[in-house]
Structure 1
């Protein structure tokens, strides 16, 4: 009985610590400057900082693997309510077509550039998806399919956060020289920047019209997370099977099935009117759970691995971030 109580107490400590980090991250994200970094990355950083309190970290780590895994999936499913398919299909169909081009071009390009810089396969996929689709959520959405280690996921999230913030500032600085309308600039921001927070921040420089256009374009990329995760799951299953030397028998496909919940939540929120009143609360809960998952990752990160392996993937991602910005500018010039 005493052992059971001790285990429950330690599990509770992990829940409380990650919850506090998530709430604190939300509060910090509302402050000037921190909004560019975003709530999820701030929760991750807070979790990493707590590693200096070793006794607290040791007590919390009993439950952090469960939180990082299960809460992440629940958060991504609930995040689907943020994706209004009706709006995308009506106002954002052209943005969706552009998003397909962006994602189809940039994931392979990011991957092969990372491999050129001798980045390991798993980390190359994580950074490619994070930079090409929707930042931290994309990294974590495909991490199970590629059997990523915690350090690899955290490093990919860090790269996405740093470059997303940097290129938000670059694009806002370029706005007067691009000759775009407010709507065009918003589309460009949504097609090129990594996190939703980055796209909103940059689009906001073009006013309400720019913000709306940026959100629609960015959510068009978010919609592609589910099919990309499934495709990567199938490809990774084949790769693992080939590595194991298995030519016959049943192939185990590590498809992230929770992505089906993400699409289902999108459909429910889009086509069932009575759900609309609950959508803001569900999305807020989604970000709270995702923040807890990110804090749990931060509590388990190996700083030595990040310092050792971070330079090469960062260089590759910087080059590809310039490419995606140039591609987005070209698409907006030609089609919007």
Structure 2
């Protein structure tokens, strides 16, 4: 990210890097544990959203000493990338192939259309392009993981990143009850509703919750469709990186064509496709992914001044709403065709 590194406070100068990082990282880990516990205790409550709120509240209430800055900055970067890598183990190309050619085509359509429409809306609403790109990728591909996958490529700062993540978690959570309700009102069968959920809801965890509400075997279909969208993270990150390499970055550095952590994601997709992975391992890695992303959300939230979030205000919120509607509309149209 093109963010300003925190200034090392005088009391930590002369200490080792580990000594500077560990206190803040420990705070992020403990906070993430509390957020995950809250999400477990309250059905439908996203631990990612809880972590963002905790981080922002702690920063803006003056509860975080400067000595924690280095560790919190690391917590906002490293776990995000590790979470993306672990996510790859949830996707089997064999499961995707079993649903037929229409599902990958729908995933491409949703992602391409969602990104294009969101960027157009961003231009009309005069939302900064980097912010619009983060919202576009997060809403069209796979939520917080997609934001993390592109934020370093486009050199986004912490406030742009955490704003996009907060919006994607908020709007995706609102879709959990909305999609099953509308599916019932529209008279959709279980398979069509499941495909719509997988093609439209933002986070993998939110798709799981939505599929559970749809019932009747919808969960497996919805998650597989969603993971087809997740697979689009690699080509989108590569395309953005190629674009940045052509025009140059603000720092003057040329980003890798595909970030290393995205390559790790692809490697685990291959492993999951070719090697039988026990359900217990899949469950454990899913929980690990949630914890890693939650830790990162707390770290990111701790670097944000609430005045900056408010300053972004109605235009960014309107962009998020428009992006959600666009993705949901394309997903529904596609589900009616391919389901």
Q: Tell me whether the two structures share a fold, i.e. TM-score over 0.5.
A: yes
Residues 228-259 of structure 1: per-residue CA shift (max 9 Å, x gap): 11111111222336x89x9xxx9655642210
Whether the 8 Å CA contact 1:71–1:293 is kept in 2: the answer is yes
Q: Distance in 1 between matches of 2:158 and 2:125?
A: 21
Whether the 8 Å CA contact 2:244–2:255 is kept in 1: the answer is no
Runs of 4+ in 1 over 6 A off after TM superposition: none
Q: Distance in 1 between matches of 2:322 and 2:115?
A: 13
Kindly report which structure 2 residues correspond to 1:163-174, keeping only aligned pairs within 5 A, or say none: 163-174=171-182
Write 1 or 2 for the structure with the bigger share of helix. Answer: 1
Residues 303 and 145 (structure 1), Cα distance of their counterparts in 2 relative to 1, 3 Å cut:
same
Kindly report which structure 2 residues correspond to 1:147-162, keeping only aligned pairs within 5 A, or say none: 147-162=155-170
Whether the 8 Å CA contact 2:51–2:298 is kept in 1: the answer is yes
Q: Does 1:17 align with 2:27?
A: yes
More displaced, 271-280 or 94-103? Answer: 271-280
Q: Distance in 2 between matches of 1:169 and 1:275?
A: 31
In structure 1, the partner of 2:209 is 201
Q: Distance in 2 between matches of 1:282 and 1:334?
A: 33
In structure 1, the partner of 2:94 is 86
In structure 2, the partner of 1:66 is 74
In structure 1, the partner of 2:121 is 113
Q: Does 1:76 align with 2:84?
A: yes
In structure 1, the partner of 2:247 is 239
Of residues 287, 291, 308, the one that matches 1:288 is: 291
What TM-score comes out, normalization by structure 1 length? Answer: 0.89
Kindly report which structure 2 residues correspond to 1:1-336, keeping only aligned pairs within 5 A, or say none: 8-33=18-43, 35=44, 37-52=45-60, 54=62, 56-91=64-99, 93-240=101-248, 253=256, 255-273=258-276, 278-336=281-339
Whether the 8 Å CA contact 2:21–2:74 is kept in 1: the answer is no
Q: CA deviation at 1:334?
A: 2.1
Q: CA deviation at 1:125?
A: 0.3
Q: CA deviation at 1:53?
A: 5.6
Whether the 8 Å CA contact 1:57–1:299 is kept in 2: the answer is no
Paired residues, what number? Answer: 328
CA RMSD of aligned residues (A): 2.4
Q: CA deviation at 1:181?
A: 0.9
Q: CA deviation at 1:67?
A: 2.2
Q: Distance in 2 between matches of 1:92 and 1:68?
A: 38
What TM-score comes out, normalization by structure 2 length? Answer: 0.88
Residues 92 and 203 (structure 1), Cα distance of their counterparts in 2 relative to 1, 3 Å cut:
farther
More displaced, 140-149 or 81-90? Answer: 81-90
Q: Distance in 2 between matches of 1:197 and 1:279?
A: 14
Q: CA deviation at 1:311?
A: 1.5
